[in-house]
Structure 1
Amino acid sequence: MKFAENTGQAAEYLRQAIPLMVKHNIPPNPLNYALWYTYVSNRVPELNQELDKTLTTYGTCPNLVGEQMFRQHMIKDEVDSAENVQAGLIALVNDLHEHASVTAEETKNYSDTLQDSLEALQADGGPALPLESIIQTLARKTQDISDSTQRFQTRIDDAQSEIESLKAELEKTRQDARVDPLTGLFNRRVFETELGTLLYSGNAGAVTLVMVDVDHFKKFNDTYGHLMGDKVLQYVGKLLRDFCPEPMLAVRYGGEEFAVIMPALTASKSAELANALREKIQAIRIKQKKSGEVISSITASFGVAESRQEDSINTLIERADKALYSAKEGGRNQVQIAP
């Protein structure tokens, strides 16, 4: 989990967290500081709910419960990813160790055979064994050690491929934790981190937030089914990617709701982009395979809010949400700018 607050905001969260820890007799260790800092910032609602329930039950937060919450809500992705990669590496090392042991044994046998052959050739009175027999034994053992070495080399090559796969898996896990699997957009976790960075960096200009909600989506799902609903969300996600290149950031905020961070754009300019996007969404046509019916009733509502100097993540989202609500109350399929 990343913390994007500036010094002032971070100090304010800490001033709120410490009295709560004292009040509930929470040990002042780094883990608990992180838990309660996150609690007062309200960035992980599920953590707040669990902490509130724990306080109601125990009057405090027992160490073991706190540690479990820390793993579950703050470092779960990192821990799971590390454990999976660690398990893969352990299995890989064990396998290589086994192959190396077999190769070492084959090498020792070959060395013994060489020694025996040398002694046989140097025996008093001539070779103790027929020369042809010694040569055949050496040839056979040489082939054995060659085969064993080749197998080990093959396993090393395979191990290199497995290591590359583990690296790719680790990278994919990190990416999966940030990307919505249905639309391919970044998720709310990335959204809050990036928005916080822009708001709290101290040297950034204004940033405009656009909240997008697909109109009557529940009714659409009930009428046409969830598969068609998913297809709509995928279309909207693609339009957002196409219309909102970097440095803008489009994310799936949750359900049928999306958000777009538009750095250095005024509310009026962002509203123009939002309106163009609204028209593109309105033009979506989806044909049902079974019935052949063309669905053309897809629209979306938009709420636009430009950041103010005093805005936090929550207050900016709240103002954009209010503008979105006004768009829906005003008849949907429109763009509203927060005052």
Structure 2
Amino acid sequence: MKSPDTLDVAAHCARAALAMMERHKVPPHPENYAIWYAYVAGRNPDLTAAIDAILQSGKKFTAKVNDELYERFAVFPQDTAELREVGQRVEEAVGRVLEYLSNANQGTSNYGAALEDFSGKLADGPSAAGLSELISGILAETKVMADLNRQLEQRLENSSNEVARLRNHLDDLKREASTDALTQLANRKLFDHSLNLAVLDARAADAPLSLLMIDIDHFKQFNDTYGHQLGDQVLKLVARSLSEVAQAKDTAARYGGEEFAVILPATPLEKSMEVAETIRNQVSTKRLTNRRTGQVLGQVTLSIGAALLREAEAPDSLVHRADEAMYLAKRDGRNRVKSEIDLEKPTGEAAK
């Protein structure tokens, strides 16, 4: 996908983007540059709002923040082009179906006209030779109509199969666009969308909605010690545990980096704490081993924060509170679950 910017505009946006990246100590990697160029160009209101919020809060653009921005707002041209191509093929298939039906309708009209003509000539009392000729004619028209029906049936079946294949392809593209490639959990975009819907549903049904924010303890240290490949295995291990514990109504997502989230509809805070403990125990009881060397790498532990949606609360506020509870769990020693209730306790009491 080509940029619509002229050379002068592109050069201005590039200089402005690099200047802002330098000012906020954002490494000029291609991924970061793409985000900041889009921000300066001002064509994505959601991206603009997200970066403006970070700037106003004084929060630093850490590697985690930069990765989250890229996951949420980066546009992949190849995906867009493929979606456009599939959509065009669906449109063409539907167009062919309409053409087949139009031809069939014309054939039916012609056959109806032939029958009327045959009926009129019968009423005139034709001779035996004339009757034989009329019957031969109507048989020929009937054969033409039967052939047209067979062709229509075959063409409609082929078109139906093609549309079904394209629909499956679109489903695959949609799934890929909303799934984290490494963990196969929902990605950040799908998490944001699912949380917004869950909040609306909870209010409409007057039902509780809980959220878990989950972080892998000492993940950077693990990555630095054993390498990114084993780090990826840790992420997959946590993702499998979330998938096993989460129910069909829940949404387990990779929130960004080593942080995960689980949306728990129709779940009060106390129950969400039980779910969190199940996840924490399931992960901490596993021992990591380097399959190639047999070296035991130790255990993976999680710090988990839980929060319950409040009346008229925005989704971002719910995330923030669950995130704060998760960081409290880290400060309190890691490998534990804390809830928003613990945030209100004195430090000594919360640590008990």
Using structure 2 for the length normalisation, give the TM-score: 0.55
Counterpart position of 1:85: 86
Partners of 2:50 and 2:83 in 1: CA distance: 26
Matches within 5 A, 1:64-79: 79=80
Moved more, 164-173 or 222-231: 164-173
Partners of 1:52 and 1:245 in 2: CA distance: 33
Counterpart position of 2:182: 182
Change beyond 3 A, Cα 1:224–1:243: same
SS in structure 1 of the partner of residue 252 of structure 2:
strand
- Structure 1 residue 193, shift from structure 2 partner: 1.6
Change beyond 3 A, Cα 1:309–1:91: closer
SS in structure 1 of the partner of residue 254 of structure 2:
strand
Q: 1:328 aligns with which of 305, 330, 335?
A: 330
SS in structure 1 of the partner of residue 178 of structure 2:
coil
Partners of 1:207 and 1:289 in 2: CA distance: 40
Partners of 1:158 and 1:175 in 2: CA distance: 26
The CA deviation string for residues 103-125 of structure 1, in whole angstroms up to 9 with x for no partner, is xxxxxxxxxxxxxxxxxxxxxxx
Partners of 2:271 and 2:212 in 1: CA distance: 11
Partners of 2:288 and 2:299 within 8 A in 1: no
Counterpart amino acid of 1:82? L
Counterpart amino acid of 2:183? T
Counterpart position of 2:305: 303
Counterpart position of 1:268: 270
Counterpart amino acid of 1:261? I
Counterpart position of 2:138: none
Counterpart position of 1:238: 240
The alignment of Structure 1 onto Structure 2 pairs a total of residues equal to 225
Counterpart amino acid of 1:250? A
SS in structure 1 of the partner of residue 211 of structure 2:
strand
SS in structure 2 of the partner of residue 291 of structure 1:
coil
Counterpart amino acid of 2:230? M
Counterpart position of 1:283: 285
Change beyond 3 A, Cα 1:226–1:171: same
Change beyond 3 A, Cα 1:301–1:220: same
The CA deviation string for residues 81-111 of structure 1, in whole angstroms up to 9 with x for no partner, is 4322156679999xxxxxxxxxxxxxxxxxx
Structure 2, unaligned stretches of length 5 or more? 1-41, 56-72, 95-155, 342-352
Q: Which has the higher contact order (CA 8 A, sep 6+)?
A: 1
Counterpart amino acid of 1:84? E
Change beyond 3 A, Cα 1:52–1:219: closer
The CA deviation string for residues 285-322 of structure 1, in whole angstroms up to 9 with x for no partner, is 22213321122231110000011103111110010010
Alignment RMSD (CA, Å): 3.9
Counterpart position of 2:167: 167
Identity of matched residues, %: 33
Counterpart position of 1:196: 196
Partners of 1:267 and 1:304 within 8 A in 2: yes
Partners of 1:330 and 1:284 in 2: CA distance: 22
SS in structure 1 of the partner of residue 173 of structure 2:
helix
Counterpart position of 1:210: 212
Counterpart position of 1:148: none
Counterpart position of 1:253: 255
Counterpart position of 2:315: 313
Change beyond 3 A, Cα 1:90–1:216: same
Change beyond 3 A, Cα 1:279–1:48: closer
Counterpart amino acid of 2:178? R
- Structure 1 residue 163, shift from structure 2 partner: 5.6
Partners of 1:81 and 1:170 within 8 A in 2: no
Counterpart position of 2:222: 220
SS in structure 2 of the partner of residue 250 of structure 1:
strand
Partners of 1:77 and 1:52 in 2: CA distance: 29
The CA deviation string for residues 50-69 of structure 1, in whole angstroms up to 9 with x for no partner, is 9999xxxxxxxxxxxxxxxx
SS in structure 1 of the partner of residue 304 of structure 2:
strand
Structure 1, unaligned stretches of length 5 or more? 1-35, 54-71, 94-155
Counterpart amino acid of 1:290? R
The CA deviation string for residues 268-294 of structure 1, in whole angstroms up to 9 with x for no partner, is 221112112111111122221332112
Partners of 2:199 and 2:291 in 1: CA distance: 46
Matches within 5 A, 1:14-93: 39=45, 44-45=46-47, 48-49=50-51, 79-86=80-87
- Structure 1 residue 180, shift from structure 2 partner: 1.1
